[in-house]
Structure 1
Amino acid sequence: MSKVFHITSGDIAGENLAKAGLPGEIFVWHDILYDGPRQPGWPSENILKARSLFLEEFTAGGLDRDYILKTLHNQYQKLAEAGSHGKIMLWFDACLFDQSMLSHLLACLALKGIQKAELLCINSFPGIEPFHGLGQLQPEQFASLYNKRQPIANEQFRFAAIVDKAFATQDTALLTKLSQMVNPPLPWTPAAVTRWLQEQPDSITGLGRLESLALEAIQNGCETPDKIFQSVSTADIPPHFWGDTTLWTKINGLADRDPPLIGIEGPTKKLPQWESQISLKEFKIKLLPNHSFHR
C-alpha cells in the first residue's frame, strides 16, 4: 500500500489530499494544458521549451522560464517512473483545467505502456454548493472518496488520447464533436470541451466568455479586482476552470486591446499575474469613455 502514487492538480487540493491519511506519495501536476503550444502525447524538448516561455508570459514573468522548464522535466520524469509504483491513483474534477490535464496524463501513461491505474473524478460533493473542484475538499472528505475509485479501462485510455490530441492541436471541429458526445468513456469531457469552445473569440465582440463576464462586471460598476472576481465567479457556470491568475490575465488583455476597452489605474500598468508585493487593493479598473458593451 505504501507504493501508491497519487496524482492531482492544484496545490490546495494536493495539500489537503496529503493530510487525508491515505498511503503513498502525493504529486501535484502543474500546467495549463488547454492552452499554449502543445503536441499530442509525450512532449518533445522543443515543446517543453515553448511551454516554458508561454507560462512565463502567462504569469507576466512571475515564474521564470528556466524554473518552469525544470519543473516540467521533473513532472514527466516522475510520470515515466510511475509504473514502478504498486498503484497509480488519479484525482481530478470535472472542470476544463482538470479534464484537459487528465486526458493528457492518460495519453502519456499509455504511451509509456502504463495502463494499470485508478481514477477518482467528481463533479459534486454533498454539502458543497456550488462545487467548483477538489480544492474545496477538506482532508477527511478526500479520505471518504478513496473507496469510490474505479480502474481506468482501456477504452478510457484510447479516448483520452483523442481528447488530448484535440486540445493539443486546438482542433475546433474535433472539439465540437467531442462536446456533442453522449455517454463518452470519460463522461466529464463534453461539458469541459464546451467551456473551452466558449472561451474562443465571439464572432461579434471578439471576446471569450471570461473576458465578456469581466467586462460586464466593470461596466456594472465593479472597479476593484476583488469585486470583479466576485462578480465573474457568481456569473460563470460551475465548475470554474479558472483562478485569479487567469482572470487578471484576461483583464490585462482587455487593457492591451487596440483600442483598449478598459483602463487600469495603479502602481503598475497591469495587474500582477502572479505573486507580488503590490497589493491588488491599489488598483482601480474602469471602462473607457464612449465604450459600450453588450454580451
Structure 2
Amino acid sequence: MSQRPISSTTDGRINLEQQRKRAKELLPRLKSQDPTSTLSQAQWHVAKQLGFSSWPKLKAHVDAIDFAARHPGFEASDEARTTHWRCGNDIAHSLQLAGFKGQFQMLTDPLCMGPVRDLPNTAFRALRSAFISQAFALDEVQVARRMDDEYDQLAALADADHCVLWCEADAYDQLFLIRTLAGLERLPKKLELIEVDRIPGVERFIGIGQLAPDVLAWLWPQRRLIDEEAVLVAKQAWSAYCDNSPTRWAELAHSSQASLPFLAPALLRQLQELPGVQDGLSLTERLSLAYIAESGPVPFGRVFAELMIKREPLPFLGDMMFHALLRPLIDAEQPLLSETEVHLEWPRRMLTLTALGQAVLAGQAYWLDHASHERWVGGSCLQPGQAHWALGHDNRPVWRS
C-alpha cells in the first residue's frame, strides 16, 4: 500500500498516544482495502512510516527517550570536567536543560565556505577572519578576536581530561570534525564522538540543533571513543581539502572510512560546490536557480527553506551562509538573479532569474565566463575567466582551461 507519511516530528520526540490514535484512524482505510486488517497491522504501518521495523521497536525507542529524560544522572559522573564541542551554539541551552553539567565550547568558523589553506596558525586565522568579516559584513577586529579565542581553545583540546564532539553527517560538521582531529599532536586522555545522520521519527533530519533536550540525552550513551585511525584519516582528509587541487579530496569522497563513516558522503557533497563542467554552477546555486525558475518571483527566504526542507541532499548551510553564497549571483556585473523589494530584510526580497540566469541554468552559457567574484571551495580558487577545477558528470574533478 502506498500513501504519504502519517506523521513526522521535527525535534525527535514521539508521542506514543498520538501514534496509537493515528493507527486507529488508519484502520478503517486498511479495512476498506482488506477486511481482515487488524489494529496491529495499522500500528505496523505507523511504525514503518516513522522509520521503525515494528511497533514494539517504536515503543522501545519512545521508552528509551523517556527513561533518559527521567534520569538526568544517566552516566554523568564525570560531566563536570567534560567539555562538549560543537560547530555552533545551537545545542548549548538544550544540553543544560537535559542535565549536562560540563563546559560548552564551539568553533563557529564555516569551513565549508571561503578559502581554506594549509597555513601556519597565525596566517590561517587571518585568512579565515578576513573572509568571514567580508562575507557576513562583520567587524574584522571582533571576528579576529573570536577566531583567536575559539582556535586557542581548540588547540588546548589535547590536554583536556574528557571531550565530546557532537556532529552530524553534513559538510559543515564533518569539516569541523576533521579540522579538530587533524590539529591534534596526540590523542587526549578521553576524546569521544557523538555522530548522527538521522533520528527515528524525524522525516527530514537537518541537524542536532533541532532536537529536543531529552533526545540529546538519548544520544549520549551512543558516543564512541576516537582512535588513532580516525585521527590519521582526518589528517589525510584535511590536507586533501586544503590542497589547491581537489583530486586527493575526490578520492576520499569516493571511498569509505570505517573510522569516520559519514566523512565520504560529506566530502562528496562539498565537492559538488565546485562548478559543474556544463554550466559553471555549484549544486547549491543550481538547486536555487531551478526553484526560482519554477516559482519566481519568490522571496529569498523561501528559496532557502525549499532547499533545506526538500531539495538539498545533505543540508549544511545556515540562512546567513546561504545568503552570502547567493550574493555574487545578484551583485555581479552580469547577474544571474534580479533582486527587488531591497528596502526589506533580505529574506523577504523577491528573486527572479535574469536572461543570463535562464541561459546558464539551461547549460547554454557558463557562469564563470560572466561572474565578477572570486570563489573558493576548500583550497581550490575559482577566478572568473581563468582556468579552474570543475566537476564532471561522474562527480570527478576535471581541469577546465
Bin for the TM-score computed over the shorter chain: 0.7 to 0.9
- Give the equivalent residue in structure 2 for 1:58: 135
- Give the equivalent residue in structure 1 for 2:182: 107
Separation in structure 2 between the aligned mates of residue 252 and residue 100 of structure 1, nearest angstrom:
23
Separation in structure 2 between the aligned mates of residue 82 and residue 179 of structure 1, nearest angstrom:
27
Please state if 1:93 is matched with 2:159: no
Q: How does 1:65-214 map to 2 (within 5 A)?
A: 65-108=140-183, 110-111=184-185, 114=188, 116-169=190-243, 171-214=245-288
- Give the equivalent residue in structure 2 for 1:284: 350
Separation in structure 2 between the aligned mates of residue 52 and residue 175 of structure 1, nearest angstrom:
24
Displacement of 1:112: 5.6
- Give the equivalent residue in structure 1 for 2:326: 251
- Give the equivalent residue in structure 1 for 2:100: 22
- Give the equivalent residue in structure 2 for 1:36: 114
Separation in structure 1 between the aligned mates of residue 258 and residue 226 of structure 2, nearest angstrom:
14
Displacement of 1:38: 3.1
Q: Is residue 18–residue 26 contact of structure 1 (8 Å, CA) maintained in 2?
A: no
Matched residues, percent identical?
Answer: 25
Q: Is residue 131–residue 239 contact of structure 1 (8 Å, CA) maintained in 2?
A: no
Structure 1 246/101 Cα, relative in aligned 2: closer, same or farther at 3 Å? same
Q: Secondary structure at the match of 1:12?
A: coil
So what's the TM-score if we normalise by structure 2? Answer: 0.66
Structure 1 21/255 Cα, relative in aligned 2: closer, same or farther at 3 Å? same
**What residue identity is the alignment partner of 1:294?**
A
1:294 to 351, 362, 368: 362
1:46 to 123, 145, 151: 123
Structure 1 3/234 Cα, relative in aligned 2: closer, same or farther at 3 Å? closer
Structure 1 47/22 Cα, relative in aligned 2: closer, same or farther at 3 Å? same
- Show structure 2 runs of 5+ residues with no match: 1-77, 364-401
Separation in structure 1 between the aligned mates of residue 158 and residue 290 of structure 2, nearest angstrom:
48
Instruction: Give structure 1 regions of 4+ aligned residues with deviation exceeding 4 angstroms.
Output: none
How many positions carry a matched residue from both structures? 282
Displacement of 1:37: 3.1
Q: Secondary structure at the match of 1:11?
A: coil
Separation in structure 2 between the aligned mates of residue 193 and residue 257 of structure 1, nearest angstrom:
28
- Show structure 1 runs of 5+ residues with no match: 269-277
Q: Is residue 336–residue 355 contact of structure 2 (8 Å, CA) maintained in 1?
A: no
- Give the equivalent residue in structure 1 for 2:82: 4
Separation in structure 2 between the aligned mates of residue 169 and residue 32 of structure 1, nearest angstrom:
17
Structure 1 103/219 Cα, relative in aligned 2: closer, same or farther at 3 Å? same
Displacement of 1:281: 5.7
So what's the TM-score if we normalise by structure 1? Answer: 0.88
Q: Secondary structure at the match of 1:160?
A: helix
**What residue identity is the alignment partner of 2:234?**
A
Q: Secondary structure at the match of 2:200?
A: coil
Highest RCO, 1 vs 2 (Cα 8 Å, sep ≥ 6): 1
